[in-house]
Chain A
Amino acid sequence: MSDELNLENAEERIGVYVCHCGTNIAGIVDVPEVREWAEKRLKNRGVVLARDYKFMCSSLGQELIEKDIKEHQLTRVVVAACSPHLHENTFRTACKRAELNPYLCELVSIREQVSWVHTDKQAATDKAKAVLSGGVERVRHHQPLEPLRVPIHPATLVVGGGITGIQAALEIADAGRRVYLVEREPSIGGHMSQFDKTFPTLDCSACILTPKMVSAGMHPNITLMTWSEVTNVSGYVGNFVVTIKQKARCVKTDLCTGCGICQEKCPKKVIDEVYEAGLGYRKAVYTPFPQAVPKFPVIDIPNCTYFQKGTCKACEKFCPTNAIDFNQKDEEITVEVGNIVLATGFDLFDPRRIPHYGYGRLANVFTNLEFERLTNAAGPTNGNIVLRDGKTTPKVVGIIHCVGSRDRNYNNYCSAICCMQSLKFAHIVKERTGATVYNFYIDMRTAAKAYDEFYQRVLEEGTLFVRGRVAEVTDAARLPGEEGKLIIQVEDTLVGKQRRIPVDMVVLSAGLQSRHDSKEVAKLFGISCSADAWFIEKHPKLDPVSTMTDGVFIAGCCTGPKDIPNSVSQGSAAAARVLTYIDRGEITLEPVRASINETQCSGCRICNNLCPFNAILFHADRMVSEVNAALCQGCGTCVAACPAGAISGTGFSNEQIMSQIEGLLLLNLNGARTQEKEMAFA
């Protein structure tokens, strides 16, 4: 019944600053008019001065504010400019320099939300006024606040053991900080460990990767946790508590020497869908590849004869160190970390989704990953490029770009690596088989150091390039010479005619896409995903490795398709961000928190299970609830839910929002109603 909104602070001295942002705002909004209006109409709302300026965010603009605060004893500042997400901090800092509590400043957006989105100048100007008066009413109820300081736990969790994760882990570990590196597979290495050569330098993938894997594996500051998955994350920046499920290896890592005898003796062969992309076999007890880190094998329980039939135990019999342990169970390990780096990588687009390309139906249509394995010396064919029959060397090879990429039926985006990868393939085919190679592309994208040179080189080698999206791959021969071949039907857009090109082997450069489970992972770590399910950066340009969630960073292909150099540099970038936090020892957080007035709390317990961060505890003895400010994330859900109005929230209090509503409604769009409303101020 009593009134939340009385004007106890009617004495505020408010300074209003309207930004032109060059012509960004002034082009549509009549900035001088807004300024004048604020000065006159909002006078009795505490506005003592209103200024407009070309670029408020410029140092001169900021100095203007600082000067006014001192000279005119401003107690509140409202800046009408761009989105708070861009410059809130800028203006808060300006106030701070002028010894005004930074939280007594309000930034209202008349650019992103007015000038950039509206065309009618009058309407835009009116809206700018309304938005401004909303800010003025709101700022009257701001309270001076102090940012919350949170200590940073020096350990870091890195999720994903691909090249990005490895890089991030090493950087942090080398700086002398503890890192937990978690990998879902038995070994770190990721996709890169499956490649043969890397473009454009063509140096052997394994040769450059293995040393990094090894040093990650042996690093005193890196706790390597493969065959493991993160199951729960609680806490907040600086103080995360992470639960990791260590899947049963059935191998005692303290005893295992990685000699590999168990793998030799294991009678059970399994098609290796992961590492060999289905082209080769592994055993039921295995390490994915010889250079695996760690060297310890795992037993593939669903495929292990002993686990399925109850007899066998060959590995156990032959293990020289009795390292096999069939009774191992999954373990849950809990670690405390201050920061988290997600480097969970990508999945390959499944070309089966494009039936007319025939993958899975036509034997000699291969995916890029399959082809990597074919060409890999350590792969199933020891590096021999042969057809599915395992012996025939192809005479004509067609490489199709943009499979599942740049295609509105699948993924709109460009997968970034396919062009270079396809060129690499073309080169390798030529080099190893001398076969005729066709590359079918939409347009060639070779925008990085030494990339285009490589393209030129492949051109000179005589690879044939056909510009046009391939319509279909078929084995239905229609013309002489097509029998027994795969025919690639394509419109050559350079010559402007349909062509049918018979080949022996087709390689599909399937695009990259986000991990099948990236949405769940995002939810687990409290970050968000784009429409394509790539993780979203805090800012796509200016803060590409941070997320909206403090202390959770993203790097590599989990944020979108990237080549190796970019992934590696993002890994380093994320590491650098983490290290700054750690070195600072503590970080400051927005003081947006809820708190409960215990005298008013009735202990009804409505709020008790509304908090996903378990920040609300109930004291049965006093029959009241309490908010733990450290756990509170400031969403305000409990504030809105409390039936007794006993919970209040800083930064977004009822008073602030209520009066902002009033301010916004001060000026209605229709002239007539405008007058009506203004009486409220008489």
Chain B
Amino acid sequence: MSDKPKFAMYWAASCGGCEIAVLNIHEKILDVDANFDVVFWPVAMDAKYKDVEAMDDGSILLTLFNGGIRNDENEKMAKLMRRKSKILVSFGSCACEGCIPGLANFSNVDEIIDTAFHTLTTDNGSEFKLQTHYSVPEGEIHIPTLLPRLKTLDQVVKVDYYMPGCPPESHQIAAVIDLVIQVLQGKATLPPPGATIGVGNSTVCDECKRARNEKKIKYFTRIQLTHPDPALCLLEQGIPCNGPATRSGCGALCPAAGAQCIGCYGPAEGVMDYGSRLISSFASVIDGNTPQEIEKVIDGIPDPAGQFYRFSLAGSLLRGSKTVKSN
């Protein structure tokens, strides 16, 4: 083992996009290799849980942890990585705020499993019952147990830094790796603990090229039902774009491609509840003063909870809907 600082990357309940995004920093990967001793990175190399367990606590300098905490194994792993790592980075939307899988917190686990095993094409004998510990003739085999709701990493362990995005943009990842390397060489200092890194200071509008005016929303429409002016703010054209509330850093890719921002970079600095910011700002500029007028405009948003908490439900103040049972 070299005496280079140790680096680890781990995924819990994630789609793997974060890993791809890291691979997409191309040449930069070699810098990682040059400056770090990569001790644990399931996708890229072989290493075993036991090896990590064997390491001294805090012996890994930097761990990028992506994926939400969906089952008991994710949770165990999160605690292990926390113990072993000096700096634990909550990497990607899933770990930071739950991301799309966090929408599962609108339902409880029973409903989720029940739905998945009662689709049109599923043929399940009425007696069918999923079992995490199952006895086969040869012995017992087991699969992990889903938690009552998907948790963000920082709801399970203390996190040192947050790096949002679905996935984080590769140029941001590269920048962060550069920073860490500079810190190692004493050329830079780490941001304050708890900081959000690899992002801009503002929100997506800051990077969006579209022209903007004072807002007065007379109606909300949907992207497929209109041909919006490509040069003008989408929100002003009634398309519920989450850009105003969403952390900058992506380069406003979606609005640039004619699509509304869906909020994958999460809330801006200091914001406690992403969805509330959107509810408040969208509502404030609705053009209507009577309940009737206002309701009519709001009817244009068919799924408010999904619209406002698309990526951040698991990390929101409410964590999920009322049906999410106790844990």
Residue among B244, B269, B270 with max Cβ neighbours from chain A (10 Å): B270
Q: Are B202 and A646 in contact (CB under 8 A)?
A: yes
Q: A1-B315, A643-B280, A644-B203 are in contact. Are A605 and B271 (CB under 8 A)?
A: no
Question: Smallest distance from the beta carbon of B233 to chain A beta carbons, Å?
Answer: 8
Question: Smallest distance from the beta carbon of A652 to chain B beta carbons, Å?
Answer: 15
From B97, B248, B270, B277, A643 is in contact (CB under 8 Å) with B277
Q: Are A3 and B277 in contact (CB under 8 A)?
A: no
Question: Smallest distance from the beta carbon of B238 to chain A beta carbons, Å?
Answer: 15
Q: Are B248 and A1 in contact (CB under 8 A)?
A: no
Cβ-based interface call for A477 (8 A): no
Choose the segment among B7-15, B110-118, B205-213, B299-307 that binds chain A (4+ C-beta atoms closer than 8 Å): B205-213
From A1, A605, A644, A658, B202 is in contact (CB under 8 Å) with A644
Cβ-based interface call for A599 (8 A): yes
In the bound assembly, the distance between CA atoms of A648 and B203 in angstroms comes to: 16
Choose the segment among B46-54, B193-201, B224-232 that binds chain A (4+ C-beta atoms closer than 8 Å): B193-201
In the bound assembly, the distance between CA atoms of A601 and B164 in angstroms comes to: 19
Residues of B within 8 A of A277 (CB): none
Question: Smallest distance from the beta carbon of A672 to chain B beta carbons, Å?
Answer: 16
Q: Are A603 and B194 in contact (CB under 8 A)?
A: no
Name the CB-closest residue of B to A601.
B202
Cβ-based interface call for A600 (8 A): yes
Name the CB-closest residue of A to B162.
A1
In the bound assembly, the distance between CA atoms of A4 and B281 in angstroms comes to: 19
Q: Are A602 and B248 in contact (CB under 8 A)?
A: yes
Q: Are B248 and A2 in contact (CB under 8 A)?
A: no
Q: Are A2 and B162 in contact (CB under 8 A)?
A: yes
In the bound assembly, the distance between CA atoms of A605 and B205 in angstroms comes to: 9
In the bound assembly, the distance between CA atoms of A4 and B212 in angstroms comes to: 29
Choose the segment among A150-158, A378-386, A606-614 that binds chain B (4+ C-beta atoms closer than 8 Å): A606-614
Q: Are A599 and B272 in contact (CB under 8 A)?
A: no
Cβ-based interface call for A642 (8 A): yes
Cβ-based interface call for A232 (8 A): no
Residues of A within 8 A of B244 (CB): 602, 604, 606, 643-644
Q: Which residues of A, 628-658, contact B by the 8 Å Cβ criterion?
A: 637, 640-646, 654, 658
Residues of B within 8 A of A644 (CB): 202-203, 244-245, 268, 271, 277
Q: Are B202 and A608 in contact (CB under 8 A)?
A: no
Residues of B within 8 A of A623 (CB): 206
Residues of A within 8 A of B162 (CB): 1-2
Q: Are B164 and A1 in contact (CB under 8 A)?
A: yes
Task: Give 1 or 0 for each of A1-41: 1 = CB within 8 Å of chain B CB.
Answer: 11111000000000000000000000000000000000000
In the bound assembly, the distance between CA atoms of A604 and B277 in angstroms comes to: 13
Q: Are B215 and A643 in contact (CB under 8 A)?
A: no
Cβ-based interface call for B168 (8 A): no
Name the CB-closest residue of A to B268.
A644
Q: Are A606 and B202 in contact (CB under 8 A)?
A: no
Question: Smallest distance from the beta carbon of B250 to chain A beta carbons, Å?
Answer: 13
Q: A2-B270, A645-B269, A645-B271 are in contact. Are A604 and B216 (CB under 8 A)?
A: no
In the bound assembly, the distance between CA atoms of A600 and B201 in angstroms comes to: 6
Q: Which residues of A contact B (CB under 8 A)?
A: 1-5, 599-606, 608-610, 618, 623, 637, 640-646, 654, 658
Further 18 A-B residue pairs, CB within 8 A, beyond A2-B196, A640-B284: A3-B272, A599-B201, A602-B205, A602-B244, A603-B205, A603-B206, A603-B212, A604-B215, A604-B243, A605-B215, A609-B214, A609-B216, A641-B280, A643-B277, A644-B203, A644-B244, A644-B271, A645-B269
What are 28 inter-chain pairs, A to B, with CB distance below 8 A? A1-B97, A1-B196, A1-B267, A1-B315, A599-B202, A600-B201, A600-B270, A602-B203, A602-B243, A603-B212, A604-B203, A604-B205, A604-B215, A605-B213, A609-B215, A640-B280, A641-B281, A641-B285, A642-B281, A643-B244, A643-B277, A644-B268, A645-B267, A645-B270, A646-B202, A646-B268, A654-B272, A658-B272
